Amino acid sequence: MRKKKVLVHGTQDSINNFLADAVSHDFEIVALLSEQLEKISVKLDDKELEVFASQSLPKFNYGLIDGVIITDGVSNESAVNFFCNKGLEPHKIIFWDAKDGWKSFKLPDADGKEIAYFCGLEFHILNEADKKFFDRTVKRLKKQRQLKNMNPNRYPELLAKDFQKKRGRPLDFDNPKTFTEKLKWLIVFDATPVKSRLADKYAVRSWVAEKIGDEYLIPLLGVWDDFDDINFDALPNQFVLKCNHGSSMNIIVRDKKIFDVQRAREKFQAWLATDFSIIALEPHYTRIDRKIIAEKFMANGDAPDINNYKFWCFNGEPLHCAVETGRSVTGSLANLRMDFFDINWKITDVERNDHPRSDHPENIPPPKNFELMKTLAATLSEGFSFVRVDLYEIEGKVYFGEMTFTPGAGNFYYKSEGTDEYLGSLLKLPVASAPPPDMILPHKKKFNPYRNLRRGFFFAIITRNFLGRRYFEEEKSFGARHARQHK
C-alpha cells in the first residue's frame, strides 16, 4: 500500500505535535501550509520542509496531492469550504488534533443524505449497517493510533487484561496449559517473519506453489495497492475481491452488473487503512504490505457456497478437521455452522461458542479428496507448532484457502467440556524467541527496542517478568528466565 502524499497545515506547535505522533509516519509529507510563514521551521529526516501560504498556493498544486492534514484546530466548516474551493474533494480534507487524534466531519450529498469523512475516508450513511461500519472504522483507527504511540512492552499486559476480562481467570504466560492460552503465548513469543508471509493472502501463494504446486491455487485475477487502480471492465462478471492482510475483508461479486463500486470503494479504503494486527494485538499481521486482490469466483454447481475444510495441524501433523457450512450467498456468517471431525472423519463433540454445530453433523460426508487434503495440510504445516490450513474441494479438485496461526486470536472458548485442555495438550510450544530486527512495530520511529540484548527480547522477557512473575516479584537472572523451554 502506497503512502498518501499530503500537505500539513498548522502552526509551529501543532505541526510539531503531529510529527511527534506515530501516525504521521503513515503519510508522505510533501510540504507545510501555514499563515505564519516566518514562524515555521520544521525538519523531517534532516531535511527542511518547504512552507507555503494556504491562500497563495496555486490551485493546481492541490490536484497533485492525496490530502491536506489540518492540525491547528481551525473551524471544520471554514477549512472545508476553503479547501473545497481550492479543488480538493472533501475526503482529502483530514482533521487531527493532539488530544483526540483523527476527527470526523459530515456533509450532506445532493439528495440530503449524510456523508461522513474521517482520516481521508468517505462513508455514505444510508442505513444502520452503514453507521455500524463507520463507527467500527473510527474505533479501530483511533485504537490504531493509541497503540502506535504506546511502548510495545505493554502489549502483553493488554492481552492478559483482555483475557482476564473475557475468561474470568488470569493468563499465565509462564505456564500456559489450555489451547487458547497457548495461542496467546504464540501471539507474544512466536510472531516470526515467516508467519507474516504466510498470513498474507497474496504472498502466501508463492509459498504454496513452492511446497505443493500452483495447481492448488485459486486463479488470481489481479492485485492492486489502491481501490482506484482497479479496472473493473477487465474483470469477469463474477469474482471475489479481498484484502490480503486480515479477516472478513472481502466482497463476493456474483453479478458485476449490479455491483455497487462506490460502496465497495468505501469499504476497501477503510480496510486498507486498518492495520489488522491492532484488532486483537496479533503482531505478525503488522508486517504485511496491504493490498487488494481479485480471485476467480469458485462454485460447486448451483450450491450457494463451497464448504471450507479447516485442518488443525500440530507440529506438522493434521489431527482435526473443522468443516464450515451454511454461509449465505452474500458471505454472511449468521447461519454458519462448524463441525469438528477427527482425522479418520469421526464426528467429535467439540463445539465453539462463536460457531454452533449443525443439527446433524453425522450426515456430513468426507470430501472425496480427504486423503490428499491431509497430505497437503501436513506438507504446508511442516515446521510449525500449530497452524490451521484451510482447503476447499470444488468440482472434485482441491484448492488452497489460507493459513491461520492464531485463529480467533484465542478469544473464543469451547462449550464442550475438556476440549480447551485436550487441544492444549497437543500443542507443544517452541522455545521463546525475540522478534527479529526487521519487525515493523506499530510505534514511533524514534523508539528502538533493540538497542541492547535485554530490550531485544522485550516480548520474551518483559512479558514473563510483568505477567508470569507479577510485577517483578521474583527476581531471576536474565539467562535463567530466557532459557526455560515450554513443553
Tens of pLDDT, residues 401-440: 999 999 999 988 888 889 999 999 999 999 876 543 333 3
Q: What is the pLDDT of residue 136?
A: 97
* 5-14, 54-63, 109-118, 328-337, range with the lowest pLDDT: 328-337
Percent of the chain whose pLDDT exceeds 70: 86
Q: What is the pLDDT of residue 194?
A: 95
> 109: left (phi > 0), else alpha (psi -120 to 50), else beta?
beta
Confidence of residue 456 (pLDDT cuts 50, 70, 90): very low
SS (H, E, C) the chain: CCCEEEEEECCHHHHHHHHHCHHHHHEEEEEEECCCHHHCCCEECCEECCEECCCCCCHHHHCCCCEEEECCCCCHHHHHHHHHHCCCCHHHEEEEECCCEEEEEEEECCCCCEEEEECCEEEEECCHHHHHHHHHHHHHHHHHHHHHCCCHHHHHHHHHHHHHHHHCCCCCCCCCCCHHHHHHHHHHHCCCHHHHHHHCCCCHHHHHHHHCCHHHCCCEEEEECCHHHCCHHHCCCCEEEEECCCCCCEEEECCHHHCCHHHHHHHHHHHHCCCCHHHHCCHHHCCCCCCEEEEECCCCCCCCCCCEEEEEEECCEEEEEEEEECCCCCCCCCCCEEEEEECCCCECCCCECCCCCCCCHHHCCCCCCHHHHHHHHHHHHCCCCEEEEEEEEECCEEEEEEEECCHHHHCCCECCCCHHHHHHHHCCCCCCCCCCCCCCCCCCCCCCCCCCHHHHCHHHHHHHHHHHCCCCCCCCCHHHHHHCCCC
Confidence of residue 448 (pLDDT cuts 50, 70, 90): very low
Confidence of residue 452 (pLDDT cuts 50, 70, 90): very low
* Residue 447: pLDDT over 70: no
Q: What is the pLDDT of residue 433?
A: 63
Q: What is the pLDDT of residue 35?
A: 85
Confidence of residue 325 (pLDDT cuts 50, 70, 90): confident
Q: What is the pLDDT of residue 481?
A: 31
Residue scoring higher pLDDT (211 or 361)? 211
pLDDT tens digits, 160-218 = 999 999 888 899 888 999 999 999 999 989 999 999 999 999 999 999 999 999 999 99
Q: What is the pLDDT of residue 485?
A: 36
Confidence of residue 332 (pLDDT cuts 50, 70, 90): low
Q: Are strands 239-243 and 250-253 parallel, antiparallel or unpaired?
A: antiparallel
* 49-63, 69-83, 181-195, 318-332, range with the lowest pLDDT: 318-332
* Residue 482: pLDDT over 50: no
Cα angle 353, 359, 362 (rounded to 5 degrees) comes to: 105
Percent of the chain whose pLDDT exceeds 90: 65
Averaged pLDDT of the chain: 86
Q: Are strands 220-224 and 101-108 parallel, antiparallel or unpaired?
A: unpaired
| CATH class for the region spanning 4-148 | alpha beta
Neighbours of 319 (CB within 10 A): 14
Domain parsing of the chain, residue ranges = 4-148, 193-215+303-410, 219-297
Fill in the amino acid letter for 296: K
Confidence of residue 303 (pLDDT cuts 50, 70, 90): low
Q: Which CATH architecture has domain 193-215+303-410?
A: 2-Layer Sandwich (3.30)
pLDDT tens digits, 243-261 = 999 999 999 999 999 999 9
Q: If you average pLDDT over residues 353-380, what whole number do you get? A: 93
**CA neighbours closer than 13 Å in the CB half-sphere of residue 366:** 17
pLDDT tens digits, 116-164 = 999 999 999 999 999 999 999 999 999 999 999 988 888 888 999 999 9
pLDDT tens digits, 35-49 = 888 888 888 888 899
Q: What is the pLDDT of residue 398?
A: 97
Query: pTM for the complete prediction?
Result: 0.85
Q: What is the pLDDT of residue 451?
A: 33
Q: What is the pLDDT of residue 304?
A: 63
Q: Which three cell numbers stand for residue 150?
A: 504506546
